[in-house]
Structure 1
């Protein structure tokens, strides 16, 4: 400290400048700005950005204050907060070969694909995502993005998701006894039975650096088990997961299709229900009363059902049957849930369908009866609360990250505009549009 003080004194005596360099500011001139908190579309506004954060929101078009400051002209655009998708799988790329690729791809192959999927997602206007399960590469990708090594959205990663033997996360579903004996997945692989193993599986993911815990209380559509709707965890097992995760400061996202598995999970205290395809009235009432978040992923349900109808040989027969019987019900279920005041956070299950199409979910949400403003709030205000950082995400306010999306028109009148962002900025860096 004394050396630094002496150096500054010497420079001053020599008449050399000692004032610190001023950080460059960026002024975004916004023709319209969507205040998602107030639910108002404002006239001309200026967002002042410095060091990746919004430092001021000013009425009108403010001129730059410093010689190195710059202006980005969005005067013909509508500006809104960066979007948040609360359910993606960046490691997954859908194809006819998805099942075979479990045995043919190396971790490096998956990592390169995940990096490409992350960039596509960011350029689609989604500046933050929750990755709800993969091999653990999602945690490494989160670190690489945060360190600036690769471009991508801000990632909250679940690591490897957890289910019972024969459940949605058991990669030996449908395989021969020969393969099952050799693979023999355990808690480190996301397969756990009984409260003690469930506790251990949570701790495994915590040790690996997961931001949240993802479990499956029912079967799924895209696994090789015969039924996706039945409950596959007891309430005691789910409580063990929730309590252990809570002790470690982690929320719990629960994949669930069938009503009984949903109700057990809600009673046990999970943070969110993912998919919820077969929610019944009792489950909706439980979720509304407990304020459990609902992440509907309508686009995933429609995508797998449409694919199974149009291309009968695309999925294995057991998967195709579930895709048609379960996936096709999601949108109607969502429409009923919003009438019961279930809290909704935006999520799509990207990776089940092609990455970058996430914003189609807005259209499906509004088709089911949700107002465009509420659909956008689900992907901003609500999603920021679900991922646990409403102080920095979800709105365009001073102190928040400079995560900004612009579209050429009014998304409150035409929500499909969100599928065609003209400008995307994350933490002050422009990824789509002119700088």
Structure 2
């Protein structure tokens, strides 16, 4: 029956030539048990009214406006849509294919990945490396189906850094700079020295980036930089931060090791991506500066397609540091932690991204994880200030918040495995008041 409903819904969408079904008179959801994104206990006996893409009222026995759609949740679990704070919409091909594909192929793959994210309950992603500006625009305009996108544009690093994907076959940059394919397509950028960093950051802001992403340490996916390396001088980091702050937004930084974390945070970086190998000193510096940690687990449970032996070894080294990082965070009471996956090179692995919820239960209770994926992530997204492409409350079920809502057949506060069964259990997926899936 569910399969038949899904097929009928897809045919209905196709006939309308629309990515989702907008309820012009509004939607009233009744009979749900509500996780509001903040509290650990569920709210019962409250209806949720959605109008013009926003939650306009929450209360008992609300009246449905004339012509509104009424959905009886029948006791299902209602919660905000998820945010993946470390997504790469544009990097979902094995390296061998990506480095031999044109821009159009990259875009076609990304379009399918964006829709897949939404159908797994991710109503928002922070894209932290990739030329996703036009993809975001196409989604916002209703041309394509996908989540809200907070684009960073190309991740920026120094020569030999995490964004430098030149191989040994490339000429040295001192002779002639041959850009890698990702650099050519503006998915990554290489900039050295204050002047180049300033110019590159400003170019990315010109494309309407929500935040800026730089690399201050080695990476597992790049060819030339071990994880222990510290990248960018203090002056170069400050240049990126100053340019971003002039536009009233912030800088997030890729880095695994303590030296890079401390240098980045002490020079104004607001968010650390990964951080797997950090020391207690580095975490305390983050806490002192009210910085955020954007970690991931699932990406380290597999080797991305196309990795060589050196990349695999770095990947495994990063995986080995996760337990210490999360254990230390719990011991120190560090709570500025958000949810992300960092899945790359494989649309098939994107389909398993929800396993991140289950993997985190080794260190966090279920309510903590749900907050990381909703209200905590929204707090970090809000640091983009006036560069926020979707002003207003996200990640919460509250009056005045964006109507990004899931109805789940099951209770992830009790059993997190229901998150991995999204095809069967996610009965309603709504973004901005638009229904993209409804099996009730």
Q: Does TM, normalized by the shorter one, top 0.5?
A: yes
1:391-430 matches, within 5 Å, as: 391-419=392-420, 420=422, 421-430=426-435
Cα deviation, residue 73, structure 1: 2.1
Q: Which has the larger radius of gyration?
A: 1
Q: Note if contact 2:85-2:127 (Cα within 8 Å) is conserved in structure 1.
A: yes
Cα deviation, residue 105, structure 1: 0.7
SS of 2:190 mapped into structure 1: coil
Counterpart for residue 387 of structure 1: 381
SS of 1:190 mapped into structure 2: strand
> 5+ residue gaps in structure 2?
1-22, 383-387
Counterpart for residue 338 of structure 2: 345
Q: Note if contact 2:339-2:372 (Cα within 8 Å) is conserved in structure 1.
A: yes
Counterpart for residue 75 of structure 1: 74
Quote the Cα distance in structure 2 between the aligned partners of 1:283 and 1:334.
13
Counterpart for residue 155 of structure 2: 161
Counterpart for residue 325 of structure 1: 317
Cα deviation, residue 293, structure 1: 0.4
Q: Does 1:117 align with 2:113?
A: yes
Cα deviation, residue 226, structure 1: 4.8
Counterpart for residue 296 of structure 1: 295
Q: Could you say if the C-alpha distance between residues 384 and 347 of structure 1 is closer, same or farther in structure 2, counting changes exceeding 3 Å?
A: same
How many residue pairs match? The answer is 399
Q: Could you say if the C-alpha distance between residues 40 and 110 of structure 1 is closer, same or farther in structure 2, counting changes exceeding 3 Å?
A: same
1:12-411 matches, within 5 Å, as: 24-59=25-60, 61-66=61-66, 68-94=67-93, 98-134=94-130, 136=131, 138-177=132-171, 181=176, 183-184=178-179, 190-304=189-303, 315-342=307-334, 343-351=336-344, 354-368=349-363, 370-388=364-382, 391-411=392-412
SS of 2:209 mapped into structure 1: coil
Quote the Cα distance in structure 2 between the aligned partners of 1:229 and 1:352.
24
Quote the Cα distance in structure 2 between the aligned partners of 1:360 and 1:222.
21
Cα deviation, residue 352, structure 1: 5.2
Cα deviation, residue 412, structure 1: 1.1
Cα deviation, residue 235, structure 1: 1.8
Q: Could you say if the C-alpha distance between residues 65 and 178 of structure 1 is closer, same or farther in structure 2, counting changes exceeding 3 Å?
A: closer
Q: Note if contact 1:168-1:223 (Cα within 8 Å) is conserved in structure 2.
A: yes
Greater shift after overlay, 401-410 or 351-360? Answer: 351-360
SS of 1:41 mapped into structure 2: coil
Cα deviation, residue 331, structure 1: 4.0
Cα deviation, residue 229, structure 1: 2.6
Quote the Cα distance in structure 1 between the aligned partners of 2:232 and 2:431.
39
Quote the Cα distance in structure 1 between the aligned partners of 2:317 and 2:332.
24
Q: Note if contact 1:301-1:330 (Cα within 8 Å) is conserved in structure 2.
A: no
Greater shift after overlay, 263-272 or 189-198? Answer: 189-198
Q: Note if contact 1:166-1:173 (Cα within 8 Å) is conserved in structure 2.
A: no
Cα deviation, residue 174, structure 1: 4.1
Cα deviation, residue 184, structure 1: 4.5
SS of 1:339 mapped into structure 2: helix
Q: Note if contact 1:259-1:279 (Cα within 8 Å) is conserved in structure 2.
A: yes
SS of 2:99 mapped into structure 1: helix
Greater shift after overlay, 316-325 or 333-342? Answer: 333-342
Q: Note if contact 1:298-1:348 (Cα within 8 Å) is conserved in structure 2.
A: yes
Higher relative contact order (CA 8 A, sep 6+): 2
Q: Note if contact 1:161-1:214 (Cα within 8 Å) is conserved in structure 2.
A: yes
Match of 1:431 among 415, 421, 436: 436
Deviations 1:33-52 (A, max 9, x none): 11333332012321111111
Quote the Cα distance in structure 1 between the aligned partners of 2:161 and 2:225.
10
Q: Note if contact 1:302-1:328 (Cα within 8 Å) is conserved in structure 2.
A: no
Report the TM-score when normalising by structure 2: 0.85
SS of 1:422 mapped into structure 2: strand
Cα deviation, residue 356, structure 1: 3.4
SS of 2:202 mapped into structure 1: helix
Report the TM-score when normalising by structure 1: 0.86
Q: Note if contact 1:288-1:341 (Cα within 8 Å) is conserved in structure 2.
A: no
